[in-house]
Chain A
Amino acid sequence: MINIIWLSMIIIGVLVAAIRCLGVTVTPLGIYLAPSFEPLSQLTHSIFDYSEFAVTLALGLVGIMALWLGIMKIAEKSGLITVIARAMKPLMIKLFPEIPPEDPAMGSIIMALSATMLGLGNASTPLGLKAFADMQVLNKYKTIATNAQCTFMAISTSSITIIPATIIAIRTAAGSANPAEIIAPVIAATAVSTTVALVMTKILQRLPRYQVENYLEAEAEEVKHEES
């Protein structure tokens, strides 16, 4: 997907510039041509400018990323996630009714979501994978997602983010007067998106078209296909 988008953006860009090189102007009196290479040379110039900017930008991030990753390392090592996880448990039991409260899956779900909330990017992906593996143990049909897995997925992609560190770093590098001013708006916007994620999963999982039974037939057919 990303490959096609990337390629088409370049092709469209060069094509549009090439067309503009013809310098077509349409007036009631007729069509005029004023050919020039200006748009294409501008494009070349801009591409070189941007690739240089990519490096300047990335190097500008080093300081703040280092600061944040340092703080987060302390949070990780001191077991702060466990404390947050304990506080979130009552809520999580309600959100994942299919998962027994004492099941290891519940523990790993809570840990993973707490890490996402703290913006522990590197630490939260392995925790998420662990949560999925634990939920899979409870899955009756191994190739079809469970309600709990869908809910977890929707929450983790919309999750409340407390500190968007990379964004603050980019804003600082770009000379913002107040790089952190976006923290509260981000919390508010993610609160909205998490709510929508939860409501949507609870509504959609009841719809007939998303019932597990529908997928059973499709899966059975596929297996038959593979065998023959």
Chain B
Amino acid sequence: MKNLKGKIILFSVLGLLVASFFIFSFVDVMQVISVLAIPVIIVIIPIYGHAKGIKVYEVFTEGAKEGFQVALRIIPFLVAIFLAIGAFRASGAMDILTWILSPITDRIGMPGEVVPMALMRPLSGSGALGIMSELIKTHGADSFIGRLVSIMMGSTETTFYILAVYFGSINVKQTRHALPAALAADLAGIVASVIICHALFG
């Protein structure tokens, strides 16, 4: 009985979502989701916490305390990556790389400036974050490139790092198809980001 109720809720949510794509445009639906996500979450989570007897205000501040540490922790990584990026960009080497890769990147509609970030993403999260921040600084957060790198950053992962940490922790040496599958997923995430970004903000 309980299971049935869950299924009804799940299917009605999915049904509404699919129906909304037919009634409104893809762009409208995406915008509504983006606008509603944060308000819905900041209401639902504290209400749920309160219902479970959590001292919501105190627990919130306890978590918020970590915000400063997170920001401080990334400074060394940002400085390191900005040193490399700064040298690479100011010297004109970035322009050369962009020019070399342009035949491939133009075909999928990806600006060449974004390539270094796509290459860095599976290797280092802080490195990719640095490149993303730099591109957003140079081109503006609301430019096509600014939006594209934001979406790419959110939809891919530090695959090599996660692979090393997870498999290393249990001493597995032969990772079989884990890496190719994960890298294929990253590539799909990048291509999907480009297509979606063109559809929404192109």
Contact = CB atoms under 8 A, between A and B. Distances in A.
Given A42-B90, A144-B172, A189-B152, 8 more contacts: A1-B160, A17-B90, A66-B68, A142-B171, A157-B162, A164-B150, A171-B141, A183-B33
A69 B45 CA distance: 12
Interface in B135-153: 136-137, 140-142, 146-147, 150-153
A53 interface: yes
8 contacts: A16-B91, A47-B86, A73-B62, A156-B157, A174-B136, A174-B137, A177-B142, A215-B176
A6 B153 CA distance: 19
B186 A187 contact: no
B114 interface: no
Contacts of B107: none
Interface residues of B, number: 108
Contact of B71 (A53, A61, A185, A204): A61
Interface in B81-115: 81-93, 96
B176 A144 contact: yes
Contacts of B176: 144-145, 150, 205, 210, 212, 215
Taking each of A14, A79, A210, which has the highest tally of chain B beta carbons within 10 Å of its own beta carbon? A210
B60 A74 contact: yes
**The 4 residue pairs across chains A and B that have the minimum distance between CB atoms:** A73-B63, A66-B67, A13-B87, A176-B141
B45 to A, nearest CB: 5
B83 A188 contact: no
A43 B92 CA distance: 9
Interface string A40-61: 0011011101110111011101
Interface of B (DSSP majority class): helix
A97 to B, nearest CB: 16
B14 interface: no
Interface string B152-189: 11111111101101110111111111101110111011
Interface of B: 6, 10, 29-35, 37-38, 41-42, 45-46, 48-49, 51-52, 54, 56, 59-68, 70-72, 74-75, 78-93, 96, 120, 123-124, 127, 129-130, 132-134, 136-137, 140-142, 146-147, 150-160, 162-163, 165-167, 169-178, 180-182, 184-186, 188-189, 192-193, 196-197, 200
A75 B45 contact: yes
A69 B37 contact: no
B52 A79 contact: yes
A65 B63 CA distance: 10
Contacts of A51: 79, 82-83, 86
Contact of B154 (A17, A53, A157, A167): A167
A125 to B, nearest CB: 7
Given A57-B133, A185-B197, A149 B162 contact: no
